Structure 1
Amino acid sequence: MKIKPILYLIIIGVIASNCATTIPARDTVDPSFVFKITGDGLNENITPTFDFDNKALYLRRGAMYNVILTVTDRGGLQNASWELPGSHILRLLDRNGWFVANSGDPYRDKYEFTGFRDTPVNGATLTVRRMEAIGGPPSGEIVNYKFVFSGTDFHGNTIDKTLIIRITNEASRIGSRD
């Protein structure tokens, strides 16, 4: 059943986002993340070890996807964000968690979690039950859109990864950027 893996990730995310933690006196480990995307034949977990320089995420125009983004740090998560193309390119429906933030670009959206030093947690999860791939040039031209995942802990350790997204009329997949 396809529901079980998604349900397990949601449960893990809720537990991670609700677990209080202690900020250590010293911390040199960067935050981490898991971007889980399913739908239209796609079932991928994208983590910091993904080949961001050579691979892209191909989404099919008009297809719907489920997304779970979890950002974690054992020593306390101060901030996490996901920046993505605006709703004219990708429409997020039935979203749960995090706040809408100003990306500084009217054509991009940003979702953000802010942690507090007096009540630190070791993770935060954003769940999107329906993400619709809307746009991309109808001419068939390939455009590189970007998902930017970032996280910062209370010691200034950061992670910042950019995933290239391409919306086409072809099957959803992880493929080459060439």
Structure 2
Amino acid sequence: MFDRQGNLKTTLGTPGEKGSSLDPLQFDQVGDVAFNEAGEMFVVDGDGGMNNRLLKLSTDHKLLWSVGGEGSAPGQFSVPHCVDVDRYGQVWVADRKNKRIQVFHGDSGAYIGELALDEDVYTARFSADKSHILALQMKVRRILVIAAPKEPGNLGDCEVIDSMQMKEGTQPHLLSVSQSTGAIYVGDIGANTCYKFLPL
């Protein structure tokens, strides 16, 4: 991890080595990290490789819990590719090859539910105001706009309300949202390009 000036502050795991150890922590092909309001870290470790898991670390980088394993059952993953936290502290994971977004309790890691989609989902990211989920599907070059839940534990309100189709030939791989402006940034690995879209 780096500070705002780009200075290295902390390294988790041993660089150049892959593993599944939880004590000491070792990773293999981390896909993404996210933080809750308390500064605790969520890590999806499984962009290919040996691990398919979600970990929660304390502010001093101690392991608080880990869930996962390779598979398609609730709480299992097949390439967890992105992680984000909603307004209630629930943790959302883009479970790429299982074509779904899984949701977990931020305090305990307990499985809450999932949103099944029709294609692999590479990114599940919240809009700046947490009112929508942006689900990026690279194979069909599409970003789904999904209504976020109106209360914790209830995924019944999470329906697709719109979509953005990207042009032929693009390979949109990851998506991020500016927390200050709400602008949407999409990384295209086909053209090695980043696109900026206006806020929702």
- Normalised to the residue count of structure 2, the TM-score between the two structures is 0.25
For CA contacts below 8 A with separation 6 or more, give which structure has more relative contact order: 1
- Normalised to the residue count of structure 1, the TM-score between the two structures is 0.27
**Greater helix share, structure number:** 1
**Greater strand share, structure number:** 1
